[in-house]
Structure 1
Amino acid sequence: MKFAKFSVLLLIFFIFPVAFGQLKIGFYSQSCPNAETIVQGLVSARFGRDPSITAALTRMHFHDCFVQGCDASLLIDPSTTNQDTEKTAGPNGSVRGFDLMDEIKTALEAQCPNTVSCSDIITLATRDSVLLGGGPSYKVPTGRRDGFVSNKLDAERILPGPALPVPDMVTFFANKGLNVFDGVALLGAHTVGNGFCGNFVDRLNNFQGTGQPDPTMDLGLAARLRNTCSAGGSQFAALDQSTPLAPFSFDNLFFAQIRERKGVLLLDHLLATDPATSGVVFQYASNNELFKRQFGIAMVKMGAIDVLTGTAGEIRKNCRAFN
């Protein structure tokens, strides 16, 4: 009965879409008709050389939207007037793909000057990379404007850590208008992600200060991760250990993995055991199409968090600097 209730709730979310204000599908159809084609082409070229770009852009999009909203504030470089931008925050130290944002912006400025925002570039590029990685195809409304604030402390205060308790995770997403189905689906992007050993090495050797490994972690996984992390916390491991031969394959095997006590990050492990999320994890593990469909829905909702539209923001000429 509990899982049936979850299914009914999911159906409700599919029927009643989120309102996105002044954002709309095809916002650039008149002002820059080839905008989305240009983005798609450059993302595809990068993916051909580096399929891990799917994880990189998904992480970038997430870290941008949850701090100041989806306004490309994460792209701002430190300067003499602001040395502590979001990019310098600890949680953003592993974010990458900034050079691809530059490449796309340069191409768009050459064809349609002062037209396409950097925040829309992040959103479109992430969507295209997800599809290339085997994820869902979903349409994103555009029309975002770039913000005027980028503060390191904001990012460090807001962005969650890898051991966040599930109740706090649920609240974290709820504060931005995302429900538990959205939150668990977004964390499913770990299917193509890597994690630094420093984010979970305590589970292997000194869990919660006990001097012992986490007793709830699968023994085989723990042994593999000890080998991977033997050189120290600067190493990294795939967060989806179920597809070692296809580490960048976007699928629901991640959820089956964490249900078998094979979650690398503590938060991922807890998703499968906490009553607030375990039923959702079960549904996604059982139905790949359901997971992909809900992931697309969640990405569209996330991409509308606290967006600036109209005259509330700007169109940057250079994504790394305010105009």
Structure 2
Amino acid sequence: MMFTIFSSLISVSQAQDPSQLSLDYYSKTCPAAQDIVKAEMECAVRDDPRNAATILRLHFHDCFVQGCDGSVLLDDTYSLQGEKEASQNANSLIGFDIVDKIKNQLESECPGVVSCADLLAIAARDAVLLVGGPYWDVPLGRKDSTTASFSAADTDLPAVNHGLVTLITKFLAKGLSVTDMVALVGAHTIGKARCVSFRDRIYGDFGTTSHSALTSELYLSSLKSTCPASGGDDEVSPIDNVTPTLFDNSFYHILLRGEGLLNSDQEMYSSLLGFETASLVQKYALDPIAFFNQFSDSMVKMGNITNLEGGEVRKNCRFVNS
């Protein structure tokens, strides 16, 4: 049974022929596409810097299930069960209204041309750039899936309570290396987490991994005031409490201090099995340029995970075309 599941993960994660994605895919059919996405993202991030992390997370959760095919955006209907209510997405993923706004602008300019999957890939890049992160060219030409997979969203996505071996296995199943994983998790430098996601950590081994310095004690006390031992599940805290709205390498410094908010993050440095991951955490903490370069490369690599079954260009990102 486990072999069957692992085999299915591998088959889903295989990318299509890279020639099907190109940097100039919309140069003739919708030359203004990337400018439209950028303008809408500028408005969204100006309204609330958290929107950068929101859109980036949507792209991650899309690519890890069936490939980068816009399946995470689909609403439930009488004939289709979407992924929004899966355990790793429910009460957690937001930003669908931002996607709707961008899609409406694209449809006004170039009806039926730009896929929702491509929209997300471009928006994620712009989101990072707008909060101080690196730029990368986004290969385009993805199709939107006409299906979603609630079950794959439950099984394929990494979770905050996963140990290091499980996390690595989930990334490898998508064709992403340990180096890719440590770099991509650096996206948490601009994220926020719900209390329910870090309660076990702060009432568990936080004190063991963190230094006993006064700053660590004050930080832990602050976290417990935000997230009580029971209740308050939807209260949020920045994953990077030092520069929460700036895309930088501060996240890795936090892991070096043993103060990672999420268990899955701290595992990369503190796990007894984390020889390679701990070395990478140290590298990115010391060298922000190395982090930026690897993050850009890994984002392109993740974005090239496509749905082998192809699909369509949805007119509305929430529903398949009729």
- Is the shorter-chain TM-score for this pair beyond 0.5, marking a shared fold? yes
| Residue 126 in structure 1 maps to residue 124 in structure 2 | yes
Q: Is the 8 A contact 1:145 1:308 kept in 2?
A: no
Q: How does 1:180-191 map onto structure 2 within 5 Å?
A: 180-191=178-189
Q: Is the 8 A contact 1:146 1:308 kept in 2?
A: no
Q: Residue type matched to 2:89 in 1?
A: N
State the identity as a percent.
Answer: 40
Q: Is the 8 A contact 2:202 2:261 kept in 1?
A: no
Match of 1:286 in 2: 286
- Post-superposition CA distance 1:28-71 (Å, at most 9, x none): 00111111111111111111111111110111000000001100
- Post-superposition CA distance 1:135-156 (Å, at most 9, x none): 1011010000101111222211
| Residue 248 in structure 1 maps to residue 241 in structure 2 | no
Q: Residue type matched to 2:115 in 1?
A: S
Match of 2:306 in 1: 306
Residue of structure 2 aligned with 1:215, choices 197, 204, 208: 208
Q: Is the 8 A contact 1:194 1:239 kept in 2?
A: yes
Q: Measure the CA separation in 1 of the matches of 2:148 and 2:307.
A: 14
Q: Measure the CA separation in 1 of the matches of 2:308 and 2:281.
A: 33
- Post-superposition CA distance 1:94-141 (Å, at most 9, x none): 111111111111111111111110100000011111100111011010
TM score, norm. by length of structure 2:
0.87
- Give the CA deviation at 1:206: 4.8
Higher mean alpha-carbon deviation, 169-178 vs 63-72, is at 169-178
- Give the CA deviation at 1:232: 2.7
| Residue 57 in structure 1 maps to residue 55 in structure 2 | yes
Q: Is the 8 A contact 1:61 1:122 kept in 2?
A: yes
- Root-mean-square deviation (CA, aligned residues, Å) is 1.7
Match of 2:82 in 1: 85
Q: Measure the CA separation in 2 of the matches of 1:202 and 1:144.
A: 38
Q: Residue type matched to 2:233 in 1?
A: G
Q: Measure the CA separation in 1 of the matches of 2:264 and 2:204.
A: 17
Q: Residue type matched to 1:216 in 2?
A: T
Match of 1:13 in 2: none
Indicate how the Cα distance of structure 1 residues 132 and 19 shifts in structure 2: closer, same or farther if over 3 A, else same: farther
Match of 1:15 in 2: none
Q: Residue type matched to 1:86 in 2?
A: E
Q: Measure the CA separation in 2 of the matches of 1:114 and 1:180.
A: 38
Q: Measure the CA separation in 2 of the matches of 1:19 and 1:186.
A: 23
Q: Is the 8 A contact 2:145 2:311 kept in 1?
A: yes
Q: Measure the CA separation in 2 of the matches of 1:21 and 1:217.
A: 47
Unaligned runs of 5+ in 1: 1-17, 208-212
- Post-superposition CA distance 1:229-273 (Å, at most 9, x none): 136322111111223xxx210000110111111101111111112
- Give the CA deviation at 1:179: 1.1
Residue of structure 1 aligned with 2:41, choices 35, 40, 43: 43
Q: Measure the CA separation in 1 of the matches of 2:170 and 2:117.
A: 22
- Give the CA deviation at 1:308: 5.2
Match of 1:233 in 2: 233
Q: Is the 8 A contact 2:209 2:259 kept in 1?
A: no
Q: Measure the CA separation in 1 of the matches of 2:137 and 2:60.
A: 17
Indicate how the Cα distance of structure 1 residues 186 and 19 shifts in structure 2: closer, same or farther if over 3 A, else same: farther
Q: Residue type matched to 1:119 in 2?
A: A
Q: Is the 8 A contact 1:117 1:145 kept in 2?
A: yes
Higher mean alpha-carbon deviation, 282-291 vs 86-95, is at 86-95
Higher mean alpha-carbon deviation, 167-176 vs 277-286, is at 167-176
Q: Measure the CA separation in 1 of the matches of 2:297 and 2:203.
A: 38
Q: Following TM superposition, where does structure 1 have runs of at least 4 consecutive aligned residues deviating by more than 6 angstroms?
A: none
Q: Is the 8 A contact 1:191 1:251 kept in 2?
A: yes
Match of 2:258 in 1: 261
Q: Measure the CA separation in 2 of the matches of 1:316 and 1:37.
A: 20
Q: Is the 8 A contact 2:66 2:149 kept in 1?
A: no
Q: Residue type matched to 1:264 in 2?
A: L
Match of 1:74 in 2: 72
Match of 1:195, SS?
strand
Unaligned runs of 5+ in 2: 1-15
Q: Is the 8 A contact 2:249 2:284 kept in 1?
A: yes
